[in-house]
Structures are given as C-alpha cells and as structure tokens.
A and B are shown apart, each in its own frame.
Chain A
Amino acid sequence: MKHIRKTLVAATAATAIVLSGCSAPADDSTPYEVNFAYLNIGGAPTQELKDAVNELAMDELGMTVNLIPISFSDYFTKLPLMLASGDPLDITFVFSQDFPTFINSQYIVNANDYADQTKDIYGLFGEDAGVGQIGDFLVGFPTVKELSSPTGLVVRKDIFDELGYSVDDFDITAEDTSGYDKITELFADVKAAHPEMTPYDGTFSMGMQVFSYIDPLGDSGYGALEDKGQTTKVTNWFESDQYREFAEINREWFTKGYTSQDVAVNQDEGQVKMKAGNTFSFMTFTKPDSAPEKASQTGYEVEIIPLSGYGPKSTSGSTAGLLSVANNAKDKDKAFEFLNWAYTSGEFNDLLNWGVEGVDWVETEDGVAGYPEGKDPASVGYHNGAGFILPNQFAGHVWSGSPANLGDQYAAANEEAKASKAYGFLFDGTSVSGELAQLNAVYEQYKKQISFGVLDPDKGLKEFNDAMYAAGLQTVIDEKQRQLDEWLDAK
C-alpha cells in the first residue's frame, strides 16, 4: 500500500514537471498577422511603436504586424534557422549572396506568381523591379535607395576646419590615387595637433570597399569585373595594381602611426569610435545624405571627402538586400498584399524610420521630420535612421538636415552611376560551394591585415594570393566566366 502511494506520487510529480513545458494552443479567429523581419540598425521598437504599426495596418488592411528586428550579425545566424525550422515569418530581407541557396532550399516564394498583388511595386520601380530575377524565379523587390556605392572618408568637421582644410583641397578618384598624398598630410597634421586620438580607424578601408571599385559578381570579389564593371573578363582583383596601391597607401598610414595599431582586431565600427572621441576619421560607403546621417550617428558634425566617385550599378549592389516573402508565410496572397502596401504607405515607412509621430518625431515647417521639443538622439525612444532598409523611405518624410527633395537626388545619383556590364547577371555558386567556403576562410584571415596595412604588402599580397589560389580561386574564376559568357550570349 505504502509504496503504491509512493509510486503514484512520484509518477504524478514527474509527469507534472514534464507537462509544465507545454503551453496552450493558439486561438485562430484573430486577423491575419504578418511577421515582418527587417534589418535593425537603430534599436528595438518601443511598445508604442508596435501598437501604432498594428493600428495602422488594421485600419488600412485588416491585418496585424509582428515586427521582427534582425541585426546585421543575426542575419547570418538567426535568419537561416528561422527559415529552416518553419518559424512564423512572412516577409524578410535577403542578401544577394544567399539567393541561390535560399532558392534551392526553397526558403522564399517566387514573386513572379504574385504579380497581381504587387502592381504598385512595379509602378514604383519600372523595369528595375525585375532586378532580382534569376532564371524564372523572382527573388523579391529592392528597397528605394542609392544603387551605386561610392566610398568616402568621413572626417570630423571641427578639427578639419581648425587645421585649415576644406573638402575642395582633395581630388581623389578611383583611377588617380596621387590625391591620397594630401590625406597623408592631413593625418600627419591631425596626429601632431591631437595626439590623444588616432587619425584613422574603423572597420573598412579601400581594399574592402568592393562595391565602389569593381563588380564583385555576387560575393566578396572572388573573381570580379574590374574597372567598375566596364569589362567582361573575370579577373582576380586582389592581384591588380589598384589593390596593391591601396595596400601600400594603407601600409604607409599604419607604419607612421596614423592608423590605430589595434585596427586589425577592432570590432567597433568607425561611427562608434568617432562617437567616443577616439578617432578623427573613418571610411564608409556614402550617399547624398551621408553627412547628416553620420552626424546623427556620431554626435559630431562631419565632412565627407569623396574617394571613388560613383561605384558601378551592379547586381550585387542593387540586389544587395531584397525584400522577399518567405515560404513559411501561412497566407502568401496576404503577405504580398502587405508588401505592396508597405511600398506605398508613407505612414508605415515613417513609423519604422523615425518612430511614432508626436512622440519620437514631429513635422517641422519645412515639411521634413525633426526631433520634438526637448528630445535629442540620446533621449528619444526610437529612431532608426537607416532608410535603405525600408521598402520606400521616400514615401514618408525626410529627416531635417537633408533637403526635402532627397528622393529626387537619389534618383539622379542612380541615373549617373554607370551600369556594370554584368548588371542583371546573378552567379550561381552551388557547384563551387566547397571552394567558396575555403575562399571565405582565407579572405577572413587576410582582408583586414592587407587593407589596413598591418602586413607588409610586398610579402603579404603574395601570401594572400597564393592562399587564395590554393583554396580554389581559379576554379571559381573559370566558373564565373563561363556562366557570364553564357548569360551574355543569351541576351
């Protein structure tokens, strides 16, 4: 008797513990919820923001929205898991390097089948709407942003002016690198005047800015079209004179102490270093409104010295991030309907960009958006400010400091950028996936050391290129050339 009771108690206790892990099933008489994953740069959405977005979506579409912010690094770790495990996900952004694998793994839906639901998007982009087409599969739609990526050196305006420089003193283009001597002079002056900070720091230098100088054909440039994509011969950019020059210029900066000596192990972006007052300048991709953007990110007014001119319009550049509907979406028609609406709704884009009107931003008399009374970058609840991640940042308001016609300026810049000869070509790397994996590992090892001049270019470049060829670079180059030639013939 006694031990039967003991048994029962033990069994009940054990089962209760196991079942406590289970939860109640969901109720499905609620309106369709769109799970919207977006690239998160600004910060987590506040509860007010989530409520405002839900209210707006309910009013206009009869749907609710579950915002899923995903940081840049989460994209590589969290998103593949979500797609593979069937987590609730309707809309996500996809980077171009993943198109072949996502299509093969059937993570995303072919947007060609939903052309009816996405008429407004086609109206917005015209023929550029089809830029994400691989074979007969349309991966998704680009966001409204700059399509070419020039590189610039962002410098602190106060020190720049103090030392008597002006942006017009500098004349550097992708073809002519003699102008870099002036920058070396500038760094020398900064180091003398301000020994407590490094003149140059950050996570990017010229050699890593692949979108400005070449068409990388879908990855970090393992076989690329040099001269801003104005050739159809696939070559190894890392062996070119241009790359060597960049390495040598950076080597000079590093050995003279203008570049932070810890730059190779630094994980903090240039903006972060500038905000902390530790660096005078850093390099980045620029666009028409970079100056106010960097000012709001760092808290210092900045000047931008252009270094490369417009990059080529390349497939990788324009399709760098496309908005796609995931296969996990329960109702794909509704998901595409939402996506279509997201491109046209100024209010939705304003919400995600600047936050809740009245709380995080207000409309000023110039018709642009600005901080409300008493709020500034530190105290505002939500402020994203990375418009390129939104479907259509110009459907909403432009931020104060930028001209109100910024959208037109972007359009003009996109017109000016020359299209690469391979614009529209998407490389399918599945047959060389082993080599690509090995090349990634080698590139990770050398990219910062060479681009920032930590390694002596005479030895370092040879080591780097030998390692790349050992990892199968020639195979990838040949495969890219073969696919490119096929695509060109078919055109």
Chain B
Amino acid sequence: MKRRSTTRLRSFLPVYILLIPGMLYLLVNNYIPMVGIISAFKRINVNDGIFFSPWNGLENFRYLFLSGAAGDIFRNTLLYNTAFIVVTTVVAIALAVLINDVASTKLKKLYQSAILLPFTLSMVVVSYVVFGFLSHENGLLNNTLLESDPIQWYSEGQYWPAILIIVNLWKTVGYSTLLFLAALVGVDRSLYEASSLDGANRWQQVLTIDLPNLFPTIVTLTLLAVGRIFYSDFGLFYQVPRNSGAIFDVTTTIDTYVYRALISAGGIGQSAAAGFFQAVIGFVLVLSVNAAVRKYQRSSALF
C-alpha cells in the first residue's frame, strides 16, 4: 500500500511542481492582501500605514447604512443581481439547446462567436450604443417609433429595470451559453434516439435529458453568481444610465454609490468598508447555498 502511494506521488510530482508558481502568485496576490480588510475599521493615513493607523470602530460603515440611500442601494443591487442570474440562466440554456441542434458545424461556430462578441465590448462603448437608441434629441427610438410622442428615457425610472436587464443579458449571455453548450455536447446522442423511439417530443427531451445533464453546470454558475450578489458591474450601472440623476433611485447600486460618495480622496477606510461588506456577505452566501445544494444532490455541489 505504502509503495503504491509513493509511486503515485512521484509520477505526479512534475505536475505539482508546475503548480507552484501559480499557487505562489495566488498566495501573494490574493491571500496575503486579505489582511488589509482591517482598513474597513480604521482611519487610514499613509505614514502610519494599514497596521498602525488608528482604529475607528464602525464609523466607516455609517455612510452606507445610515444614509437615506441605503434602502435603494441594497434593494437595487440584490434585485438586479437576482434578475440577472435567473434571466441569463434561462436564456443561456435555451440558446445552448438551440445551438446544439444546429446541424451545420460552420454555422454552429458562427453562432458561438457571434454570441460571445458583446461580452468582449467595453461598457463605455455599450453606453454610447444605448445612448444612440435612447437619446432624446437624436436617438433611434424617439425619432422613429415614437416620433409623435417622444419619451425622456433618461428621466423616467420605470423603464430602467427592463433596459438594464436587457443590456446585461445581451452582453453576458454568450459566456454562459458557451459553458452550457460545452456540457450539452458531452451528452450521449443515443439517449435522444432512445427517447424519441419511446415517443418523446423535443420539449420533453429538453426536460428529461438536457436539463438534468446541465444541472452541475447550472449549480456551479449560479453558486459563483450568488457569491457576487452584492457586487455590481460598475460600468453597467454608471455608464449606461449616463450618470443621470433623475433615475438614481432605480439605477444606483452599492458600487456606484460608493463612487459618487467618495469622489474626493481619503475615503480609503470608507471604500474598504463597502468592499468588506460585499465580500463577507458573499462568502457567507456561497457557503450556505453550497450546503443546501449538497443536501439535495451531493455530486453537484461545488465543494
């Protein structure tokens, strides 16, 4: 027995050694800086540094929780992220199933590249594209469909949840679609043949073959997204609404609020407090959701 495990270790040794630089990098770049999280509870000044600056308790959290905006920012961040997770997952699965069914490999590759393209665009570019649609004076929508009755898009909050969900979907669905597609490609084709022999139509095949096979991937992606549920895409919520004050109550999130509040320098402790909150809550959520998934189907859980 002992000999078997040492031979195994020796045969995998090169791989472990190859892992060392990457692990070192992770250790130095990701784990060691975690110590800096104490900045959230200190009034930082540069000469005393992080370790010797004076403590100031929960003072840095005040502007986040005790301001009138606290309700808006937490509600927006949570609800938008939940909507994003649900909508993106559903649409990505649908697209993956559809692309999987395309017969021509050339077209398949074309669709895969096309669907990933928006993901590579910068949010600033996207914000100008959206501006091209929604500008009051020169935008596409106001000058064609709504010429008789133009809408002040950037002043009406009611449209923005839909606008932001659509823009986020368009930009990020490609990434999830490809992951689901990769999972679907691994499904044994004979399952489909067998099920159609039994009289299943395409919809039933999706429900009974595709979805169960996608379940581990869905869990992984959702779990990762849940871990970031208090983070928002700054570009999406700041650039796309073009920083328009009239719609702040539906477009402001934790990240944009912190940015607007701390525009002048010196808010290291305060921004660290926001980051602390986002990271700690995200961590707790990931652990809880993973534990729940583990109860349901052990093999699908992340760890």
Contact = CB atoms under 8 A, between A and B. Distances in A.
Given A3-B13, A104-B45, A437-B270, A445 B265 contact: no
A481 B263 CA distance: 24
B21 interface: yes
A446 B276 CA distance: 29
A106 B47 contact: yes
A93 to B, nearest CB: 13
B69 interface: yes
B69 to A, nearest CB: 6
B152 A440 contact: no
Contact of A454 (B18, B242, B246, B263): B246
B14 interface: yes
A20 B155 CA distance: 52
A11 B15 CA distance: 9
A98 B21 contact: no
A264 B246 contact: yes
Interface stretch (A79-87, A135-143, A289-297): A79-87
A10 B17 contact: yes
A82 to B, nearest CB: 11
A98 B264 contact: yes
A105 B248 CA distance: 32
A265 B62 CA distance: 30
Interface in A1-58: 3, 6-7, 10-11, 13-15, 17-18
B296 interface: no
A449 B248 CA distance: 12
Contacts of B69: 438, 441-442
Interface string B17-36: 11011001100000000000
Interface stretch (B76-84, B170-178, B254-262): B254-262
B213 interface: no
Contacts of A444: 243, 245, 260, 263
Nearest to B239: A267
Given A262-B136, A441-B67, A15 B21 contact: yes
B162 interface: no
A265 B264 contact: no
Nearest to A469: B68
Interface size class of B (residues with CB under 8 A): 35 or more
A260 interface: yes
B21 A448 contact: no
A107 B264 contact: no
Contact of A264 (B17, B66, B155, B263): B155
B21 A440 contact: no
B267 interface: yes
Given A14-B17, A17-B21, A449-B245, A98 B46 contact: no
B4 interface: no
B95 to A, nearest CB: 32
A448 B242 CA distance: 12
Contact of A104 (B10, B67, B262, B266): B266
A83 B265 CA distance: 10
Contact of B152 (A104, A260, A261): A261
B265 A98 contact: yes
A284 interface: no
Interface in A252-305: 260-262, 264-265, 267
Given A107-B46, A261-B152, A440 B244 contact: no
A455 interface: yes
Contacts of A115: none
B137 interface: yes
A17 B67 CA distance: 49
Nearest to B152: A261
Contact of B266 (A10, A98, A441, A448): A98
B264 A3 contact: no
Given A14-B21, A106-B45, A470 B264 contact: no
Interface string B130-156: 010001110000000000000010110
A470 B46 contact: no
A440 B260 CA distance: 7
8 nearest CB pairs, A to B: A101-B266, A265-B242, A437-B261, A445-B245, A80-B265, A106-B47, A261-B136, A105-B45
Interface of B: 10-11, 13-15, 17-18, 20-21, 24-25, 44-47, 59, 62-63, 66-69, 131, 135-137, 152, 154-155, 241-246, 248, 257, 260-268, 270
27 contacts: A3-B14, A6-B14, A10-B14, A10-B18, A13-B18, A14-B17, A84-B268, A104-B266, A105-B47, A105-B266, A261-B136, A262-B135, A262-B154, A264-B154, A265-B243, A433-B266, A433-B267, A437-B63, A438-B69, A440-B260, A444-B243, A444-B260, A445-B260, A449-B246, A454-B246, A455-B246, A470-B67
Given A10-B18, A260-B137, A444-B245, 13 more contacts: A18-B25, A84-B46, A105-B47, A106-B45, A198-B137, A261-B152, A262-B135, A264-B155, A434-B66, A438-B261, A442-B69, A445-B248, A447-B245
